[in-house]
């Protein structure tokens, strides 16, 4: 449950950055939490969205959204099965299963990846680089219904190093996505800022507002599939993230007029016939490749993860409509040939 509160800036608030003021006045628990709220479009100054570095003036009316306090007690470990691909004293690489939320929230106070990591490692053996006790081990996230490879960190040193590498675009994160429509060109890039949608605050959207954050996604077409009587054809693409915004690939591909097959939210240009979603109950999006430099040893590590059963079945259903794989498609499927399939 969330609620909107307000604060009127005092004379001694003059010139302070918005995120710093929100934390200093106790309106959010930390500056990082305040900055996230501003970036997510949950804070308004005199009725307008502004950047987190916006200088506050005396008399400014700041309206901000907060979650009702929840007192769940100490974060507890839960015996949730994990498909771990690599583990040492610094980090874990795992293939996240569909339906697993990364960390507790208002809607999911347990049964999350963090609960599973606490059970597996112990809370004392996980990093806390997000500044919040319910995000132990987390250095990046996947949506609940996006499957595939992701990182978790055990030490703060590893956590900070991995987060910095992600910010510096030194971590190679690639996703397989099946999108509606036959994309004519072999490569593409979507460079469009993302913010909270203006009217539906649980959605993200491409917007030109101060709270919008830069977002860049590139893609390569791997295989194209002919139009059918109930659809506009499909393209299997390999997406690479250069930033990590909430729902980034899903938002960007809708913006590019090629929403994901099975997409439940960002589907304004998807075919209306439910059959066009190929029986999928979630978006066709899978983190299939992850490559990075180990923060402690300096070793170059690379992992690949084959498609889970539901996405493979949807892709197989299009086999007789394939126009053939591109050169990039041959490369990716060669990589996946020996890659393990998700166990969960």
Residues 156 and 222 occupy one common structural domain = no
Query: Are the beta carbons of 150 and 177 closer than 8 angstroms?
Result: no
Q: Span 95-121, mean pLDDT?
A: 92
Residue 130: what pLDDT?
84
Q: How many residues does the chain have?
A: 344
Domain shared by 54 and 201, yes or no: no
Contact residues for 251 (Cβ-Cβ < 8 A; gap 6+): 194, 204, 205, 206, 215, 245, 266
CA proximity to 285, closest of 261, 303, 264: 261
Give catalytic status of residue 109 as yes or no: no
Domain shared by 264 and 176, yes or no:
yes
pLDDT in tens, 66-100: 877 555 556 889 999 999 999 999 999 999 999 99
Residue ending a domain, choose from 109, 132, 167 = 167
Residues 159, 231 share a domain:
no
Per-residue pLDDT, 72: 52
Separation between Cα atoms, residue 318 and residue 334, nearest integer Å: 19
Q: How many domains does the chain have?
A: 3
Rounded to two decimals, the pTM is 0.82
In a domain, 75, yes or no: no
Mean pLDDT of 61-67: 91
- For residues 6 and 115, membership in a common domain is answered with no
Q: What is the extent of the structural domain holding 57? A: 2-67
Domain containing 162 — which CATH number? 3.30.2350.10
Percent of the chain with pLDDT over 90: 84
Has residue 12 been placed in a domain?
Answer: yes
312, containing H or E segment: helix 309-316
2-19 per-residue burial string, b: 16 or more CB within 10 A, e: under 16: eeeeebebeeebeebbbb
Residue 220, in any domain of the structure: yes
Assess whether 213 and 163 both reside in one domain. no
Please check whether residue 76 lies inside any domain of the structure. Answer: no
Residues 133 and 178 in one domain: no
Please give the pLDDT value at position 29. 84
pLDDT for 100 equals 97
Identify whether residues 147 and 181 lie together within a single domain: no
Find how far residue 248's CA is from the centre of its chain: 7
19 pLDDT above the threshold of 90: yes
Catalytic residue among 143, 231, 305, 310: 143
Q: Are residues 194 and 262 in the same domain?
A: yes
Q: DSSP code of 337?
A: H
In angstroms, the CA 235 to CA 98 distance is 22
């Amino acid at each position: 449950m969330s609620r909107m509160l307000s604060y009127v800036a005092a004379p001694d608030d003059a010139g302070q950055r918005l995120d710093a003021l929100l934390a200093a006045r106790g309106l959010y628990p930390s500056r990082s939490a305040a900055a996230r709220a501003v970036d997510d479009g949950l804070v308004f100054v005199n009725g307008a969205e502004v950047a987190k570095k916006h200088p506050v003036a005396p008399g400014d009316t700041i309206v901000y959204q907060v979650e009702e306090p929840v007192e769940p007690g100490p974060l507890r470990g839960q015996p949730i099965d994990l498909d771990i691909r690599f583990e040492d004293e610094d980090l874990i690489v795992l293939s996240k299963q569909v339906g697993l939320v990364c960390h507790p929230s208002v809607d999911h106070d347990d049964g999350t990846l963090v609960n599973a990591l606490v059970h597996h490692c112990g809370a004392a053996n996980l990093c806390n680089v997000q500044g919040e006790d319910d995000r132990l081990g987390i250095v990046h996230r996947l949506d609940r219904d996006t499957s595939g490879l992701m990182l978790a960190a055990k030490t703060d040193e590893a956590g900070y190093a991995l987060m910095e590498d992600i910010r510096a675009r030194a971590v190679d994160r690639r996703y397989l996505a099946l999108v509606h429509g036959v994309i004519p060109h072999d490569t593409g890039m979507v460079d469009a800022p993302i913010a909270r949608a203006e009217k539906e605050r649980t959605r993200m959207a491409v917007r030109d507002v101060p709270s919008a954050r830069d977002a860049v996604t590139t893609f390569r077409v791997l295989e194209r599939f002919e139009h059918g009587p109930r659809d506009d054809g499909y393209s299997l693409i390999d997406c690479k993230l250069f930033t990590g915004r909430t729902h980034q690939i899903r938002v960007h591909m809708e913006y590019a007029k090629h929403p994901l097959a099975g997409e439940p939210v960002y589907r304004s240009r998807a075919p209306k016939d439910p059959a066009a979603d190929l029986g999928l109950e979630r978006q066709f999006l899978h983190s299939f490749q992850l490559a990075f430099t180990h923060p402690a040893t300096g070793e170059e590590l690379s992992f690949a993860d084959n498609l889970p059963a539901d996405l493979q079945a949807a892709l197989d259903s299009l086999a007789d409509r394939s126009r053939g794989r591109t050169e990039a498609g041959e490369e990716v499927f060669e990589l996946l040939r020996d890659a393990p399939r998700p166990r969960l």
